[in-house]
Amino acid sequence: MNNQLTVLIIVAAFLSSCKTPVAKSYDFPKPVDTSTREIDYQEKKTYSFPSSQVYFSNQFDGARLNDCTLLEEGLFKVLISPENFPINLSPYYAFKIWSDKDQRIRVKLHYEKAKHRYHPKISKDGENWSLLNQEYFSYSQDSTHAFIELGVSADTLWVAAQELQNSTHLKQWCQEKAKQSDVHLSSIGKSKLGKELWLLDIHNGSIKNKDIVVLLSRQHPPEVTGWLAMRAFVDEILRDNDLANAFRAKYRILAYPLMNPDGVDLGHWRHNAGGIDLNRDWAYYRQPENRQIADDIVQKSKTNKSHVILGLDFHSTYKDVYYTNKEPSKHLKDFEKFWLTGIHHAIDEEINERPSNVGGPVSKNWFLTQFGANGITYEIGDETPRDYIEIKGRTAAIEMMELLIYK
């Protein structure tokens, strides 16, 4: 009997020592209920107008077009609705148009309970995009609808609020990066609708005790410009030069480029398939995306006795902003001050930093409360020129690497 008891105790002790670490819950001063809510799915179809010989379609990942009607000859109304209410007003749209004959048409973009936000981008192939010429665009005084004029033909024309960057694009990018020996690509889990949650685990040599930098993107589906900055940021970290090579030897970077693949592919304005703003779910991880990614970061740091020292979460808003924490972090003292000054000197950016106290359950606050790490929400303007985003993202990486290497 005694022997059996001893064995039981040993087994129990072994099992508890093997228990996988998970992210801690935290009561933020401004809690948010992130229990799953219902969403509306848009009907996927081609809207055909035989008399005009014009066709609209939302049959691709990342599309958003909720209804389409002919108002008068040559004028079509497109309804753009969100996945649910209440919601942040980011009226994202994306659809394809073609016509049996060459003609010019007008499209009225009608936003449900929202105002116009994104200047239209157009593409002939869904890959290469340009801004719609200003002369073909106007919007109503109350901004609830916008008019665009387009030349259509048998060749498909893509029209979207931002360049299309859906889960297929992201997967291709991840696979391309994973050709480099310091990049280890894996899927750490699945979204609510079963899409992969990709991780680029970037480092050279042993991961034991390496301090960790975390990068996040696309919690909010339409925030493509933030993603473009993260892409440039990662490219700079992966360069074959003294600085980047030394950085990957000293640090481990965990980059989660697509936190909300369901929302991105469903063409959502803000939420995941659980109808929730993921960047409010860092307290109790009620949504599978946050639960798995938060646990993955915690597990990777604990099992290798590493500190998470910095978390950068890439987003988009009306203009470029750095949201930072007022409370001090444990590891990188005054990082924001030196980093932002460095960026300012390198590219003459007029730095717009907005420090705040820990309030709601957003990632910036989570990095601080969970790890004592510096947490920064890196916001890019919706219409910030794309070539500048590239320079800015690369510069942000260079300045960070220099600070962390030579600190």
Length of the chain in terms of residues written: 407
CA distance 198 to 257: 7
Nearest to 344 by CA among 389, 395, 397: 395
Looking at beta carbons only, is 126 or 263 nearer to Zn ion?
263
Nearer to Zn ion, 58 or 384 (CB): 384
Helix (H, G, I), strand (E, B) or coil at 359: coil
For Zn ion, the closer CB: 177 or 315: 315
Residue placing its CB nearer to Zn ion in the complex, 28 or 247: 28
Asked if 315 interacts with Zn ion (CB under 5 A), we say yes
Determine, following the binding rule CB under 5 A, whether residue 110 of this chain makes contact with Zn ion.
no
The interface region with Zn ion, picked from 205-213, 296-304, 313-321, 345-353 by CB under 5 A, is: 313-321
State the minimum distance, in angstroms, from the CB of residue 78 to Zn ion: 24
Cβ of residue 215: shortest distance to Zn ion, in angstroms? Answer: 14
- Nearer to Zn ion among residue 220 and residue 394 (C-beta): 220
Residue 169 is a binding residue for Zn ion (CB under 5 A): no
Segment interacting with Zn ion (CB under 5 A) among 260-268, 288-296, 314-322, 385-393: 314-322
Q: Are 323 and 354 in contact (CB under 8 A)?
A: yes
Q: Cα Rg for the chain, rounded, in angstroms? A: 23
User: Which residues, 6 or more positions from 240, have their beta carbon under 8 angstroms from its beta carbon?
Assistant: none
- CB-nearer residue toward Zn ion: 54 or 321: 321
Q: Is 197 exposed, middle or buried (0-12, 13-18, 19+ CB in 10 A)?
A: buried
Closest separation between CB of residue 363 and Zn ion, Å? 10
Distance CA 316, CA 339 (A): 20
Stretch that binds Zn ion, among 184-192, 312-320, 346-354, 391-399 (CB under 5 A): 312-320
Size of the site for Zn ion (CB under 5 A): 3
The least distance separating Zn ion from the CB of residue 223, rounded to whole angstroms, comes to: 5
Q: Could you tell me the smallest distance in angstroms from the CB atom of residue 170 to Zn ion? A: 16
Region from 95-103, 126-134, 308-316, 332-340 binding Zn ion, contact rule CB under 5 A: 308-316
Count of other CB atoms within 10 angstroms of residue 31: 14
Q: For Zn ion, which is the closer residue by CB, 225 or 369? A: 225
Number of residue whose CB is nearest Zn ion: 315
State how far the Cα of 49 lies from the Cα of 58, in Å rounded to an integer. Answer: 15
Q: Is the dihedral of CA 279, 283, 286, 292 positive or negative?
A: positive
Q: Is 190 helix (H, G, I), strand (E, B) or coil?
A: strand
Pairing mode, strands 75-80 and 145-152: unpaired
271 near Zn ion (CB under 5 A): no
Torsion of CA 388, 390, 396, 402, to 10 degrees: -120
- 355 forms beta bridges with 324
Task: Residue 53: count other Cβ atoms within 10 Å of its Cβ.
Answer: 14
From residue 200 to residue 239, the character string flagging contacts with Zn ion as x (rule: CB under 5 A) and all else as - is: --------------------x--x----------------
Q: Which range binds Zn ion by CB under 5 A, 173-181, 311-319, 326-334, 359-367?
A: 311-319
Applying CB under 5 A, which part among 76-84, 157-165, 210-218, 309-317 lies near Zn ion? 309-317
DSSP strand pairing (54-57 vs 121-123): unpaired
Identity of the residue, 321 or 332, whose beta carbon is nearer to Zn ion in the bound complex: 321
Token readout for 77 is 């109304």
User: Cα 214 to the chain's mean position, in Å?
Assistant: 13
Which CB atom, from 42 or from 363, has the smaller least distance to Zn ion? Answer: 363
User: Which residues contribute to the site for Zn ion (CB under 5 A)?
Assistant: 220, 223, 315
